[in-house]
Amino acid sequence: MRDARSTPARPDAQRNRERILAVALTELTRAADTPVSVIARKAGVGQGTFYRNFPNREALVLEVYRYEMRQVADSAAQLLADRPADRALREWMDRLARYAMAKAGLADALRAATSGHGSLAQVGHGPVTEAITLLLAANEAAGTIRAGVSPDDFLLAIAGLWQLDPHSDWEPRAARLFDLVTDGLRAGAPGVERMPRHPDQRASG
């Protein structure tokens, strides 16, 4: 492993690392249990080179998954600029769901590699938590959710997402989960006296 403070890697070494990551994304999405040896071979490097770049298999999987999560996380700011806070939150959840399902192979790889420590939802921790913080703050300010809900609370409430089977008809189940969570967040919010139960349902980003 090489950190930001050390001498920059030789360009060819740099490229090795990137190739490994690219191959890992493709390969682990297809089959979560692809051996390190196969990933190394397809990336055109020896196993030793793999372990020069990553301390172990888990570190690789984590980095790949983290990168993917950051993509969704980063879209939150834009959504908030375009729509009312409650619509932005719901659209973001929908995107998260699509991402989580598209990368389910990766998620399995992560579960297998990190069994025991580190839960799936908290992987993008930096970016994802930031995104949720933004979304919750905007909604709290708009009076569309109650105060005092932490990003951690929110993540825990939607954790069921990662239990859905991407090969199944997961959309309605995710929608029902989001409806329930939305109602839970709304309960006791200042802007809510007699509100329809989950009005976002009729909309589609």
Give the binding site for DNA (CB under 7 A): 2, 9-10, 12-13, 16, 33, 35-37, 44-49, 51-52, 56-58
Instruction: Output 45 or 145, the one with its CB closest to a copy of itself.
Output: 145
44 binds, among a copy of itself, DNA, none (CB under 5 to 8 A by kind): DNA
Span from 5-13, 16-24, 48-56, 103-111 in contact with a copy of itself (CB under 8 A): 103-111
CA–CA gap between residue 35 and residue 128 (Å, rounded): 29
Q: How far is the CB of 161 from a copy of itself (least distance, A)?
A: 8
Q: 123, 110 in Cβ contact below 8 A?
A: yes
Q: Does 171 bind a copy of itself (CB under 8 A)?
A: no
Strands (E), the chain: none
- d(CA 57, CA 115) in angstroms, rounded, equals 13
Min dist. Cβ of residue 65 to DNA (A): 15
Residue in 72, 92, 73 with CA at minimum distance from that of residue 82: 92
| Residue list 131-170, contact with a copy of itself (CB under 8 A) | 149, 152-153, 155-160, 162-165
- Provide, rounded to whole angstroms, the least separation between the CB of residue 125 and a copy of itself: 13
| Number of neighbours of residue 144 by Cβ within 10 angstroms | 21
Q: Is the dihedral of CA 58, 60, 65, 66 positive or negative?
A: positive
Instruction: Report how far residue 104's alpha carbon sits from residue 13's, in angstroms, rounded to the nearest whole number.
Output: 30
CA 150/CA 180 separation, integer angstroms: 17
- Say whether residue 28 binds a copy of itself (CB under 8 A): no
The window from 39-47, 65-73, 129-137, 181-189 that contacts a copy of itself (CB under 8 A) reads 181-189
Of 31 and 38, which CB lies nearer to a copy of itself in the complex structure?
Answer: 31
Q: Which residue among 176, 190, 199, 205 contacts a copy of itself (CB under 8 A)?
A: 176
User: Is residue 21 a contact partner of residue 64, using CB atoms and an 8 Å limit?
Assistant: yes
